[in-house]
Amino acid sequence: MANKILEIPSAYEELSIRSEIGLMSYHGGTLEKATDAIARETAEQSGASYYGLIQTDDDPLHFPSTELFKYASNNLNVFFQHIRVVITIHGYGRESLFHSVLLGGRNRALASHIASFLKMALPDYSFEKNLDEIPKELRGLHPKNPVNIPEFAGVQVELPPTLRWNREEWGWSDNGGIGRAKHVDDFIHALSQAIKTLPLKTYLNE
């Protein structure tokens, strides 16, 4: 199904090439709401590269992460030819994990580095980097998952609905005319700082 998404008028890609660190949101727009805004703004603030696949239809198509490459987008190829490590932004919903941010993917040193910044910025949330405590389908460990494609792999960040929801305006942050919630701005700033201060040993997954 992923190879049909770009044939839909309500779907489009975004690409910005900057540093060798990449941010992605390929379930963006109306699918996993606010994830594209978070990835895009974090990339801008940190000087990272960015790839987004945005859907605007009220009934967006969902596809597994492992199928992203099936449509062989030139933008996607350009993005992965440039970056060496990646952070993918996703949204998920589990009633028992409404205040838990899950940090999957194969670069565990990078996951720990990111978690240390996010914890300080968002004390009301927990940041789970122990893979055994993350639901299997949200761990981002499959070799075909985009988070594991670059030379040094990366981190799959799964955001709960409470973090992506704007409580003041009662709607999804950065979506359908709803403004950005303060905690979304806090998250973006903290993740940007984590990227800007990324030590070489973390980058190399040592």
The tens digit of pLDDT for each residue in 32-46 reads: 999 999 999 999 999
DSSP H helices, 24-105, are: 35-46, 74-82
Question: Does the structure show a pLDDT above 70 at 132?
Answer: yes
Through-space distance between the first and last CA atoms of the chain, rounded to whole angstroms: 37
Q: Which among 3-17, 153-167, 188-202 has the top mean pLDDT? A: 153-167
DSSP E strand stretches across the chain = 11-16, 21-29, 49-55, 85-91, 100-104, 126-128, 154-159, 165-166, 171-172
pLDDT of residue 70: 77
The DSSP result for 92-127, as a single string, is ---GGGTTEEEEESS-HHHHHHHHHHHHHH-TTSEE
Q: Average model confidence (pLDDT) for the chain?
A: 92
26: which residues sit within 8 A by CB, 6+ positions away?
Answer: 51, 52, 53, 65, 68, 88, 146
* Residue 129: other Cβ atoms inside 10 A: 20
Query: What number of CA atoms fall less than 13 Å from residue 129's CA on the CB side?
Result: 17
Q: What pTM did the predictor assign?
A: 0.94
Mean pLDDT of 119-141: 96
